[in-house]
Structure formats: C-alpha cells, structure tokens
Structure 1
Amino acid sequence: MKTRFWVWLLLGLLATGCGEKPVTRVYEAAHERPITCLRLAVFPASESLEKALKGLYPFRDDCPVLLEVRHKENICCNSTQNVEQKTLSNFPRHFLRLELRRGMTPLYSYYIDLDHPADAGDAQKAFETLREDLPLANP
C-alpha cells in the first residue's frame, strides 16, 4: 500500500514539473526611452499568430522597435536528464518566445514551453503579459 502511494506521488510530481508558466525579463534599456511603436516579425511565418497580434496592436513597418515572435513545434530533446518526465508526463514539445529589441538592444523577453503548437490564444496571452510588464505608448 505504501509503495502505491509513493508511485502516485512521484507520478503527480513529474506531471506538474513543466507548467505553462512563462519566463519573462524586462531589461534596463526598456526604461531609457518610451516605446512609441512596434514592428512585428513572426518566425516561422504563422498567419494565425500574426493575425491575433495585429488585432491587439497597430504594428508599423517603419518602427525601430521590433517585436520578434518565434515558435517551434515538435521539439525533440535528446537529453537523458528528463527521461522519466518525458515518459510519464505531458512533456512540452513546443515553445513560444517574444523578444522586444531596439536595434540590437534587448528590451523585453517572454518564453513559455507548451504541450501544444502555439496558437492565437497563446500569442494573445504573451502580448498581454508584455503589456502588463512594460508600458507601451499608444501610437
């Protein structure tokens, strides 16, 4: 009976090891000058992500501040460190990353592991988090 308890406890801990909690960072340079506009780049191209983001903000092609959105699907991790977690849980195989830069100077970053391909809802949550963390002037 004790063994069964420990097995279920271990399985529960492994299943919750990788949650959908983003890692964000606001760089000092973000506070040096106000951000008055944004330019958008999505890699690889995704019509649904781009449409979702353009519905939240009027991006401009001539803006010096770039919001780069990267997403990846079906990541294969060959590390042996997470074997148990990959086998016994819904291990994330996708990610979504937002990076905000003025030229080459980083202003903000957002990263989240996902157990599904990034979709419009994930992009909206990410952009809303960016807006909460960093003031954006209305263009």
Structure 2
Amino acid sequence: MRNASRIIYFWSKGFLASNESDRQQQRESMNISWQTEIAIYRFGAKNVYGEAQLQFVRKTNVGVVKFEQSNEKSSVRADSSGSRGKASLELFDAVLVAPLEAAVQLDDVLILEGQKLKVSSVHRRWGLRGRPGHLEVGANIWV
C-alpha cells in the first residue's frame, strides 16, 4: 500500500517534481549499488604549446557494468612483411553507470582504479515510476 500511495503522489505531482524537497526525494529513491569512485577531467585552457590541459571537474560514484581488457589478433601486420604474421592488439572496453549529477560529457577523461579512460559515448537513461535516471557511459583506454 505504501508504494501505491507513492505512485499516486507521483502522478498527482506530474512527471517533474515541483519543488526541491520532491527532487531530493526522487534522488534518494535511486537504488543503484555504486561500486567504485571515479575522477572526471575535462579539456580546458591551452598551455604555451597550444595543447589542451586537463582540468579536474569532480569525483563521483559509479557502477561498473563492463570492464574488460583483452588481446585480439589483427588481420595484417603493420609492416606487411612476407611472413603475414598477425599483430596482437590490446583492446579495452568499459561501460559505467553514473548519476545524472556527474554530468559526464563526450571526450572527458575518467580515472578509474588508476586506469585512464576517454569517454566515447554517453546515453541518458530515464528512470521509471518517479525514480531519477542515470547516465550510461562507454569509454576506451586513453594514453
């Protein structure tokens, strides 16, 4: 019965909360198990060489959906020698779930467990039944 009254209250307030206390209640109802913390950096001002410098944005908790590192054989070696051997490529792929407040953007650099990742995709996922959504962040290794 408690959940039913919450849903009725939500629908009576509309899709968007009207005041700060309603927004706070929605944020608290997000029930994701955050597993680790990341630091978010963004390219900002340029140095004397014209290179963009990384500037710290914030730290935030994230949930890890996928975090894998693997080797894959390429189709052709770079030198195209007569041996036609296959080169070993190191691939890295990470999918993270972050709160909306993290405001992760494309090309941000994330530091997760000492690993630098560059954001290659950001998808906003919408919450259901009055719960806030989250960001699904795809990232690759960055050096």
TM-score range, shorter chain: under 0.3
- Say which structure is richer in helix: 1
**Rg bigger for which structure?**
2
- Say which structure is richer in strand: 2
**TM-score, structure 1 normalization:** 0.23
**TM-score, structure 2 normalization:** 0.22
